[in-house]
Amino acid sequence: MNVRIAAAITLCLGLAACGNPSEAATEPKPDVGTQLTLNQGSLIGFKAENGAHVWLGIPFAESTAGQNRWRAPRPVSAWDGIRPATTFAPSCPQFSREESDAGELIGSEDCLYLNVYAPPDAQGRDLPVMIWIHGGANVWGAASERDGSKLAVDQNVILVTVQYRLGPLGFFAHEALRDTADKPLDRAANFALLDLIASLKWVGREIATFGGNPDNVTIFGESAGGQNIAALIGSPLAKGLFHKAIMQSGGFDSASLDQAEFANSDFYNPSSVVIDKLGYRDFGSKETAKALRKTSLADLFATYATKAEAAKPRLRYNDGTPEFPNIPAVISDGVTLPKAPLRSLLSDQETFNSVPMIMGTTRDELKALFQADPKLVKKRLGLFPAARNQRRYDLISEYTSRLWRIHAVDQPAAIISRAGHNEIWAYRFDWDESGSVGMTDLAKLLGASHGFEAPFIFGTFDVFTDNSKYLFPPKNAESRNALSATMMEYWASFARGGQPLAQTGPEWPRYTENESQPKIMRFDSEEDKGISVLTGADSMDKWISDLQNDQKVSRADRCAILDVLTTYRDGNVIPPPARVQIDALRKSRCTAGQQ
């Protein structure tokens, strides 16, 4: 997921403080009914209000600080006595998203922990296991962001949420680290991917104790979490560790080792530039590796500043959204992934982990980004954002968000299908019934934006605390909860048996049943379009043809769309394969500055 999109959502529209509801909660009281013994040692959790058994902050690997920085995760040590599992572990190092300290460096390198949510009668059973991989552009986020208790209890599944190294600690390719590797896996560049693989191995060893079936594991995640799932699908190291996958607004693109290391590509902050900024350019491999592992987090993250290079750590852009580091993420490193581009692996079932898959996007993926763009949005009374031109704003969102679907759903699904794998289902999330704040109509400003489907899948709508009542107003709670219940049923059914079924919803056909006219499920409330099946794939050829011939798109509209895509090109909003085509189209159809 693009960093700026993530930041725009995180700001919570700039209308009120957001915050993580879990951080303000009182520590729960341990419950003896949750006590169990793992291979690591004994553990005690607590009971949630809905009866779910919950265990928080379970370590699945050792701290990644010091000599373990930029190395494969090491096995966690056992503990004596009964370990309380009633509080979340610290997040991995990242810039804070909270209104009170936005841009401040927070987190700990001792962060490889996970959380488990289970129905109260789960122990001794073989329930399906669902592992949530959080999003956040691979530079922020935490396992504490989603409460899995409702999904676990309502759908009778074991829900696991995991953490993994972020930013430069999670993705870093440099020859000094490869040359001084202690173990073959230490030569990797995707340390975050190694963390996720370690968590999957932990699940394989320990989840039966919680009542989960280690032979029925579904990985699912949104945004960067979806992209990391794509990487797990392509990783030989993850083979056999999961059995189904759900990618929500993910992607199948990767950086090469050269792009991640050398300053000769569109990627920000290749490692050679970071090394130069730290003053290690003339060091030998051993000296460089040693210096890197001794570098303070503040100094390391400061080299990734994208706006105020050496100023203060409180980085912001536009009108208040925290700025975050751009990194080459998901690197074809030849260790965790083959050196071939990730997307190319999909053309042969021998080169990717062929499991049943769900892929999907939201209808208005990029409106969350555009709401923070002063060229597209004005502020009434200096406070309430609204589109400068609603018709054009919607057109820009439509055409830019279609690009995400093309590269995250239609193209990879076609490649996988041609490789002979047909267990693919696809969706588009259309719910756009947010409320208003003062003079801001959030339904018009955000629509069905990036990440909006996740609360429906977890059945919890308090993710933005103060802003939740605006984003998810009480007036549509009944229809919203009905849509949420059906989506949870589809997701859990897929995890249970490899096919998305719901008694409260229509049949969800496979995307690949009719290759010429594939089917995707549209999720919306009954008050709007409802849950229904859409027919037809999108493609770059169709996108370009529509942009040129669509009667509702004027010349000025067309150039505005292309100008926006050019503006956000370096933020990776445009998938790399589409950039050449879009640049050529803009050059032939529009002049610089034309509106």
HEC profile of 504-535? CCCCCCCCCCCCCCCEEEEECCCCCCCCEEEE
As to burial, measured by CB atoms within 10 angstroms (0-12 exposed, 13-18 middle, 19+ buried), residue 19 is: middle
SS3 117: strand
d(CA 364, CA 447): 6
Please tell me the least confidently modeled range out of 17-26, 134-143, 256-265, 431-440. Answer: 17-26
d(CA 39, CA 310): 46
* Closest residue by Cα to residue 130 from 251, 34, 242, 222: 242
The pLDDT of residue 22 is 42
Q: Which residue has the higher pLDDT, 593 or 393?
A: 393
Q: How would you label 414-444 residue by residue, b for 16+ Cβ within 10 Å and e otherwise?
A: bbbbebebebbbbbbbbbbbbbebeebbbbb
Question: What are the C-alpha distances in Å from 322 to residues 227, 257, 465?
Answer: 22, 29, 19
pLDDT band at 572 (very low <50, low <70, confident <90, very high): low
Q: How far is CA 478 from the centre of its chain?
A: 28
- CB burial of 31-55 (b: ≥16 within 10 Å; e: otherwise) equals eeebebebebeebbbbbbeeebbbb
User: What pLDDT sits at residue 305?
Assistant: 60
- Judged by average pLDDT, the poorest of 48-52, 152-156, 424-428, 572-576 is 572-576
Mean pLDDT of 80-109: 91
Q: Report the pLDDT value the prediction gives residue 459, as an integer from 0 to 100.
A: 97
Please say whether the beta carbons of 171 and 141 come within 8 A. no
| Banded pLDDT at 308 (limits 50, 70, 90) | very low
Tokens at 499, concatenated: 């096919």
Give Cα 160 to chain centroid, integer Å. Answer: 16
pLDDT at 445 over 60: yes
Cα gap 307→324, rounded to integer Å: 9
Decide if pLDDT at 8 tops 60: no
Q: Give me the mean pLDDT over the 115-142 stretch.
A: 96
Domain boundaries 3-389+402-434+447-535, CATH class: alpha beta
Q: What is the pLDDT of residue 573?
A: 59
Residue range 445-454: mean pLDDT, rounded: 96
> pLDDT at position 475, please?
94
pLDDT, residue 20, reads: 44
CA distance 388 to 171: 38
The answer to whether residue 246 scores a pLDDT higher than 80 is yes
pLDDT for the residue 588: 84
Mean pLDDT of the chain: 89
The band of 324, judged by pLDDT with boundaries at 50, 70 and 90, is low
How sure is the predictor about 6, in pLDDT bands with cuts at 50, 70 and 90?
A: very low
pLDDT at residue 4, as a whole number: 43
Model pLDDT for residues 61-80, shown as the tens digit of each residue = 999 999 999 999 999 999 99
Dihedral sign (CA 335, 340, 343, 349): negative
Structure tokens at 323: 């700025």
Percent of the chain with pLDDT over 70: 88
Sorting pLDDT into bands at 50, 70 and 90, what band is 569? low
Alpha-carbon gap, residue 425 to 590, rounded angstroms: 38
Calpha distance 72→188 (Å, rounded):
8
- What is the structure's pLDDT at 396? 95
pLDDT tens string 183-207: 999 999 999 999 999 999 999 999 9
Q: Taking the domains of the chain in order of start, what are their residue ranges?
A: 3-389+402-434+447-535, 540-589
User: 250, 216, 244: which is closest to 230 by C-alpha?
Assistant: 250
Q: How confident is the model at residue 351 (pLDDT cuts 50, 70, 90)?
A: very high
The predicted pLDDT at position 394 comes to 96
